[in-house]
Chain A
Amino acid sequence: MNLKSLPGGVLAWLRRTRCKWLLVMLLLGLVLRENYPFSHFPMFSSFSRKTYFIHLADAHGTALKTRQFGLSNSTLKKIFDRARRKELRRFADAGEKRVPLAEAAAAQSLLRYLDGLTNARPAAKKLLPGLEVEHVRVRQKNDAILLEKKILAKHQ
């Protein structure tokens, strides 16, 4: 195979192919990544032995439907994740306390977001006093799935 002719061959194929739009979409997705409407679709693109989710509970610790606040649980976690990443950078020098500090700050930031979100939802606003952000760690040990729960923040 003559490698020198490869670029020319590729160009000729690109000119000939009926699927140019497919290539354009692929390129835009890979380059622009997460910029609506473009995406590189990273959902479940990697797996790990451990992960976590969060949920909301009332002042008595009773779990609440996240939809009551007008968003899905998955969206709630993504908003928390974003704040967590930001706080991890802020607490970069906090040593062993870095993660707990960042998670507590991110949970507070999430509560502030919910404050703003519930302005137009009186029913949800009533749930805010004492509202808890609970963090549940999920991990796999041998063939078993284990859950560990902790409270990250409480609405004042």
Chain B
Amino acid sequence: MPYLTADGTAVALGPWELETAADEWRGLGTYLPDWDYNTTLRIRRGARIDLATFAAQTRIAPGTPLRWSLSWRSVDTYVSGAMPPVPVDASDDRTLEAELRGEQVGGRIELYCRVVLGERHDGPVGAASDPGSILFEDRTTLTLVGEAARFPVAVIDFHAAGYDKDASFVVDVPEDLATPVHGGLLLLVNERDRALVGAIERRRVGRDADPLLQQLEEDTAVAVLRSAVERSDELRAEQADATVGAALRELGRQVHGGLKRLSALRSESPARFHTALVGEARRLGLGRQLS
């Protein structure tokens, strides 16, 4: 049976905070670039319920046991976890805390903060009755991916791997477009191209950008765009957010005339198609820019 729920006038939540050192906290934000599997995140937020408003909105009798529930779910794997639920008490103004261990989360996760019914409730029509009924919910999305894992770059022996030994790099676009986009696209660099490998290493340690890297960026963008055009028939609106398919579709939306124009050029004129890919990549801000 449908039942009544509460809104933000009954439940006030503070922003999520992240512990950065012993009892030092900062805003959590939505993206943690320094995260890896060894990172345990301690997060918290303030929470307050106006019980009178809550009861009026949900028709739950005052004094009925309620629970705070903090849980998370991985968008990629659907694996979920939770902190033990906490009873709501009469003067409820508390801090909710959670610990997310690196080996149990990752990629994009959804954090849920809920108030649920604590036990069976026989109330008026429209009031929830079953334990666990969700009476209020707040959802926050958090991306936990290290910078290096967002678009991984790996240096390998091209000849031994079966690639042309004189090529510099290849972009590995996964066959399965439902693959999570973070880490899904992979740039493999030929270890024989010492100049390029050196430029990538220098950028990792924060030195100046290199013209070789500008070219690599441009060529990579062209390769990804080309893949989007070649697989445009497979790109469908229902592909989930944060998948390779969704990223290619979004890329297609950003180019002038969409992927349809590029597909038409591909069959009409390979030369014009190639220049269109380069031009679109540059207009997206990737690679060399003509003044």
Q: Do A and B come from one complex?
A: no
